[in-house]
Amino acid sequence: MKIKEALTLISVLIITACSGAYHFNSEESIMEYATYIALDDTPQGFTAHIANPWKKNRLLHSYRFTTSEPTRYSFSTTGNTVNIPLKRVIVMTNSLARLMVELGVEDCIAGVCEPEHISDSLINARIAQGAIAACGNSMYPIIEKIMELNPDAIMVSPFEETGYGQLEKLGIPLLECADYMETSPLGRAEWIRFYGRLFGVPERSDSLFNEISAAYLNLCQLAAGASTRPKVMLETRSGSAWYTAGGASTIGRMISDAGAEYLFADNKNSGSVPLSFETVYERASQADVWLLKNNGNTKLTYDLLEADFKPYASFKPFKTKNIWVCDVHRVPYFELTSFHPELLLSDFISIFHPEIFSDTDYTMQFYHPLDLD
């Protein structure tokens, strides 16, 4: 069995560390945790300044969102003006599509990319009914379909040194959603406030984020009282490299928030880092807990893991049977954890410190013990 580790294109494209966030003046933004966006409410809408994640102290884009302009979109040397609330958009990421359902604005989704990876039942029902169109691959969308849908905006994910090809020539606003580049769990989740304002539900989005942040911080407090800090390793080899999260990534920080020691916490990268097996073994062979993701349809077991790569059996978590797996084909890991870090943090705490939830009926959201057979 070949275990697939290149689970998303993003994990490959953000291997290197970010250059650093733009230094926004605190008075310019209502955001508390996010570092790549400054958001400011105005009497007739709001402004948003998006920092360039790859170039320190540079802006990626500036937008003025207004309810009063006669035209929905105009361009100037200082940024874009876009009319809100948005009524019809193309959504390039599954996590944002799911968030829009949670905000009650799923009717605004005119089209999605890669619908085969969407698990939300409401969105899938609307796709089946023809209310939401399939627009191809997020890297190679179907331009003709997008033109036919005539959306108010296209929600795109920016990547370093890449443009948007034919999308840039359509005259349709491209809203660059850099939430995935945030390096703290609450920083990424706080982009909920931006998305809520786009669709005219700022109170709803602020309330949702406040609930998420309160739950996350409460869990951090619980984990801080734990008497131990188990050592944690992540993932498996993919080809010749072992991709693991950088120490400055949201996952790296979340492991620390859950009261554990991430064995690569000193790595300053914020994305996935390719390491040699020897490097991982030297650092993590005596880890206490091993977390990994399985993207195959076959149930993963200890025997299959060893059959894939025999040296896995020499790691301590393999010997102590303390490996936990997330079957990403079965649970909406990528759709939910982007904007609900409190759910993943709960799983981590339950794994690292089961005594904290011993008096509750907590059910794991994403991970389960690796099957023995």
> Domain locations in the chain?
228-369
Place of tokens 């937008």: 63
Query: For strand 37-42 and strand 174-176, is the pairing parallel, antiparallel, or unpaired?
Result: unpaired
What is the spatial distance between Cα 196 and Cα 201, in angstroms, rounded to a whole number? 5
With a cut of 50, which residues of the chain have pLDDT below it? 1-20, 76-78
Tokens of 68: 């009063």
What is the spatial distance between Cα 242 and Cα 276, in angstroms, rounded to a whole number? 6
Tokens of 278: 């020897």
DSSP string, 309-371: -GGGGGSHHHHTT-EEEEETTTS-HHHHHTT-HHHHHHHHHHHH-GGGGTTS----SSEEEPB
Torsion sign across C-alpha atoms 339, 337, 98, 217 = negative
What is the spatial distance between Cα 162 and Cα 335, in angstroms, rounded to a whole number? 24
CA atoms within 13 A on the CB side of 342: 16
| CATH class held by domain 228-369 | alpha beta
Torsion sign across C-alpha atoms 316, 319, 322, 324 = positive
Residue 73: which residues within 8 A CB-CB, separation 6 or more? 80, 81, 82, 83, 171, 172, 173
| Confidence (pLDDT) at 144 | 97
Contact present, 348 and 258 (Cβ < 8 Å): yes
| Confidence (pLDDT) at 278 | 97
Q: Which helix (H) or strand (E) is 293 found in, with range?
A: strand 289-294
Q: Which helix (H) or strand (E) is 292 found in, with range?
A: strand 289-294
| Confidence (pLDDT) at 323 | 98
Residue 190: closest CA among 174, 214, 221, 218? 214
Residue 11: closest CA among 245, 254, 337, 272? 272
Contact present, 349 and 258 (Cβ < 8 Å): yes
| Confidence (pLDDT) at 216 | 98
Distances (CA, A) of 368 to 272, 302, 325, 344, 347: 23, 13, 6, 12, 9
The residue type at 179: D
